[in-house]
Structure 1
Amino acid sequence: MAKIAYILLCHKDPDAIIMQAERLTAAGDYMSIHFDASAKSEHFRKIRTALADNPNVTFARKRIKCGWGEWSLVQATLYAIEAAVDEFPRATHFYMLSGDCMAIKTAEYAHQFLDDNDKDFVESFDYFESDWIKTGWKEERLIYRHWFNERTQKKRFYAMFNLQQRLGWTREIPADIQIMIGSQWWCLRRRTVEWILDFTRTRRDVMRFFSTTWIPDETFFQTLVRHLIPEDEIDSRTLTFLMFSDYGMPVTFYNDHYDLLLSQDFLFARKISPEAKELKSRLGRLYAAHDVEFQISNEGRSLYKFLTGRGRIGRRFGMRFWETESSLGRERELMIVVSKKWHVAKRLLDQIRHVMNVPTIEYLFNEEGAPLPDLGGIQATLEKRTRHRRALMRMLFEYYDTDRLIICMDPSNLDLMHDFFSDRSVTRMLEIECKFTDEYLIGHAHRVGLAGERTPQATLERLLPTIRNDLAYEGDRIRDAGFARYGRIRESAQPEENAEKLSEFLSISWEQGLRLAQTEYLFAD
């Protein structure tokens, strides 16, 4: 049975550290603590005194001051690992933690998971080929030497960087090393950790290289594991659930996140808010529990993105300079059918084809596989279509040799609607207002990744009002936009009422509009 030695780097909140150590070791696991040398000495004494009689807790032989982006974080980790290897010969795995992490599974579950998966869990992606670094320095982290802390010694940090740039003073990456990158939260087997320690003693050249790289905690262990361990024994993922906001800041979890955290396919989560007393208490009791079954749905990241995205509504893409003066053409008419229920809009378009000789295109800005002609590659991806929407629409008008075109859009595409209505061409819109049953909303949650096959019913029930309100809000935004030539048909309206709106939208007779409105099963799910 697996036994875990937790490697804990911390610098504050001694009471929380003591509780964390007692909880994790009570189940038979171990902990090695490095408490930052720059923190209050009385806090460290308090931790040592409280845990002095716990045989499953040890401390790094040496304490150093740690700084973000510095080698000191890696060195502190190595000190804690060395102590754990020496003190806990029965430890089979070594798991990197911070003081903000908490278990979201039982010890029983974690041990069985590690027994069933004989691998090292560490994010390990090719430094240069992957897109792990989204913005900012990439090669500069490695080929220049960084002696100063970027946050506390900013002037010196950038002065030395600029000097090296001017002098062309770069260095080579060790020839036999492929630099990898990933999250610093890993879980490694004992053999792997022992090999890493041996490597640090024999390869001083590699140690010198990493000691002056920038943010080495994202590259050091990730590179060495890949260098020392066969690829089929590495699972390139972290077992710690963490998310980042659009601004690169870690997402913090609170009391009402308990069920969401338990349903994620991870063993730990960070960051837990210091104020989330109830959450910490419940998770603390969980680790020592037995025979707990977990329903893994893994919808946490998509749910977070959905909920936070509702509060930041803006343009998906800024206008490109060549589009600001472009137009679909003053004599052309673009007709947009808007519906959240895509199958209803597609069903209506199918009937329109029997009434009118006008080209119709389904959700071209929402469905990657929407049938489109070959337009030289501009139609290849959703991103290209959206970024070059006016150029795409002009090409479609020309391809079909028509001055009238009908397309479908999702209500979330408000930015595109504004763009087309601001054009010199004639733009019309028909919104289809549908009823949304709980069953439909649950299906919608599954389709867009807000829920998984095993999402608990209780979670779905809490999610439904949010989804329903979000769909209603999308419709309200469209109506509040005050678009000219806007009409709406409703599932709850009589066919005669909808016929009037259809005939106005399509410029057809009322009788033809009634035929469309009376389409059998038009609104059926």
Structure 2
Amino acid sequence: MAKIAFILLCHKDPKAIVDQAQRLTAAGDYISIHFDARANKDAYAEIQEALAGNASVTFVRNRVRCGWGAWSLVEASLRAVEAAVEAFPRATHFYMLSGDCMPIKSAAYAHTFLDETDVDYIESFDFFSSNWIKTGLKEDRLVYRHVFNERQNPSLFYGALEVQKKLGLRRAIPEDLQIMIGSQWWCLRRRTVEWILEFAKSRRDVMRFFKTTWIPDETFFQTMVRHLVPDSEIEGRTLTFLMFSDYGMPVTFYNDHYDLLLSQKFLFARKISPQAADLKTRLGELYVSGREDFRISDEGQSLFQFLTTRGRRGLRFAPRIWEDQAQIGRERTLLVLTCKKWHVAKRLADRIINETHVNGLEYIFDEEDTELPELGGIETSLTKRTRHNRALLRLIFDSYQTSKLLICVDPSNIEVLRDFARDRAEIHILEIECDFSDAYLLGHAQRIGLARENTPPEVVNGIIAPIRQTFEDEIATIRDEGFAHLMRIGETRSASENATALARFLNIELDAARNILDIDYLFFE
């Protein structure tokens, strides 16, 4: 039966490394760990201490200071492979992993899979004729020498490249090699890695060449395997499921990708989000479960291409929340009190809530400090609340688990009322008519910054009339909209008229409406 020695290159997150090592070795496999020499020493000590008693774990003693795109990554890989070959004589396969990789099949499935076919799994495409490199340098990676790191010293990296080009310092590729390129996440048989280690010792010219190529972890092992192993014994693909965007960035997997990952024809997946704790737990349990009944559909890559292509055309796989879930709901009733005197609407809302036990809120679209239930942060500011009105209300309905909700809306907020009227829910609007004294209008002008306490009387007189007209225009606009369920109570209307309108608004008995309105301070300023 196959026994896997995992080759792990890592530089952070000691707990995740320990968890991964314990998980993989618990199923009878091995792991060889190279922890970046430039990384935190205490973190490395923590890993060594936690795994000290595990005979299926070995560490690279002479560690390398690694840099992205540099030869150091290949050197670290070779040293980890050497350590694994020496420490685990029973290992039949050597599988390259990163700290972001997780199994998406069980160990039992992986062992059976590797036993079925005696091949090496590694992506290897012709460097020059393939379109594997999407952006950045291509031929320049090989034909010029790279001694500076592009990420650490970009000016020196590109400066040295330009100097070589100007001076014509192109170099020859070793004649007997066909340079190949592909993913660095390979799975090789023991005989193959032993051949590579022997070749590395005997062909110093090849090693010198790769030491100054750019991003050699995408070319070294890929070229070596094709050079040393018959084509019939190479499966030209990786066993690690990974996808890249058109910009060369790896696609990250999260908690809701569990079922998708299990259905792919791979043994591991990269890269798993550090925040996907639930996904990591489930995949870890899966690896030691012994399960082998996986249904492979392998639609991941085509699905990703489908979704990204739709995005580029301005289409989407699913409607946004403010489209799909912007509807309040056909079986729900929204009760809206609209009144310019907020304290009057709040008094009536309080009476309705206490007497009918309906869930209610005040001026959620007009007043910043209105209290709302926790809705994932959307409730924290007026700007967020008013971005998608009906989506907010749907969340509130869901939070309260109710089919009826009461809110207050300022008459000036006609667009909010129009938005509600377009919904499938039943919308009842109760307009509360109030008288506006000159004193109230002056106070309003002061509250909104149109007047101050020392504003001259002639200026005040010029302000009050336009404000009164504005209030009247707002009410007229609401009445002209033709809302299906618009009722009205008023300060100058009879008690019978008001009770009848409120009973229709709330769909309650007339006596219950009279009881709610049985307060003598409703319209007090």
Taking structure 1 as the reference length, the TM-score comes to 0.59
Residue of structure 1 equivalent to 2:29: 29
Matches within 5 A, 1:15-164: 15-164=15-164
Matches within 5 A, 1:110-509: 110-313=110-313
Q: Deviations over 1:273-303 (max 9, x none)?
A: 0110000000000001124300000001122
Say which SS state the counterpart of residue 91 (structure 2) adopts. coil
Q: After TM superposition, give the deviation of residue 305 of structure 1 in Å.
A: 2.4
User: How many residues end up aligned between the 2 structures?
Assistant: 315
- In the alignment, residue 193 of structure 1 is paired with which amino acid? V
Q: Deviations over 1:78-103 (max 9, x none)?
A: 01000000000000000000000000
Say which SS state the counterpart of residue 312 (structure 2) adopts. coil
Which structure would you say has the larger Rg?
2
Q: After TM superposition, give the deviation of residue 21 of structure 1 in Å.
A: 0.2
Alpha-carbon contact 1:2-1:111 (below 8 Å) kept: yes
Structure 1: distance between partners of 2:233 and 2:307: 37
- In the alignment, residue 186 of structure 1 is paired with which amino acid? W
Structure 2: distance between partners of 1:94 and 1:87: 12
Alpha-carbon contact 2:134-2:247 (below 8 Å) kept: no
- In the alignment, residue 263 of structure 1 is paired with which amino acid? S
- In the alignment, residue 68 of structure 2 is paired with which amino acid? W
Structure 1: distance between partners of 2:20 and 2:113: 21
- In the alignment, residue 259 of structure 1 is paired with which amino acid? D
Alpha-carbon contact 1:61-1:80 (below 8 Å) kept: no
Residue of structure 2 equivalent to 1:510: none
Say which SS state the counterpart of residue 286 (structure 1) adopts. helix
Q: After TM superposition, give the deviation of residue 245 of structure 1 in Å.
A: 1.7
Alpha-carbon contact 2:252-2:271 (below 8 Å) kept: yes
Alpha-carbon contact 1:108-1:290 (below 8 Å) kept: yes
Structure 2: distance between partners of 1:282 and 1:307: 26
Residue of structure 1 equivalent to 2:342: none
Q: After TM superposition, give the deviation of residue 314 of structure 1 in Å.
A: 5.2
Say which SS state the counterpart of residue 17 (structure 2) adopts. helix
Structure 1: distance between partners of 2:257 and 2:15: 23
Structure 2: distance between partners of 1:265 and 1:151: 34
Query: Which is worse superposed, 79-88 or 60-69?
Result: 60-69
Matched, 1:14 2:35: no
Q: After TM superposition, give the deviation of residue 233 of structure 1 in Å.
A: 0.3
Structure 1: distance between partners of 2:19 and 2:217: 26
Say which SS state the counterpart of residue 311 (structure 1) adopts. helix
Q: Which 5+ residue runs of structure 2 have no aligned equivalent?
A: 316-525
- In the alignment, residue 183 of structure 2 is paired with which amino acid? S
Alpha-carbon contact 1:59-1:80 (below 8 Å) kept: yes
Say which SS state the counterpart of residue 183 (structure 1) adopts. coil
Alpha-carbon contact 2:134-2:248 (below 8 Å) kept: no
Structure 1: distance between partners of 2:146 and 2:265: 37
- In the alignment, residue 215 of structure 1 is paired with which amino acid? I
Structure 1: distance between partners of 2:243 and 2:178: 27
Alpha-carbon contact 1:145-1:213 (below 8 Å) kept: yes
What is the root-mean-square deviation of aligned Cα atoms in Å? 1.1
Say which SS state the counterpart of residue 214 (structure 1) adopts. coil
Structure 1: distance between partners of 2:246 and 2:168: 35
Structure 2: distance between partners of 1:193 and 1:265: 24
| Structure 1: 4+ residue segments shifted above 4 A | none
Say which SS state the counterpart of residue 105 (structure 1) adopts. coil
Say which SS state the counterpart of residue 54 (structure 1) adopts. coil
Alpha-carbon contact 2:9-2:35 (below 8 Å) kept: yes
Say which SS state the counterpart of residue 135 (structure 2) adopts. coil
Identity %: 70
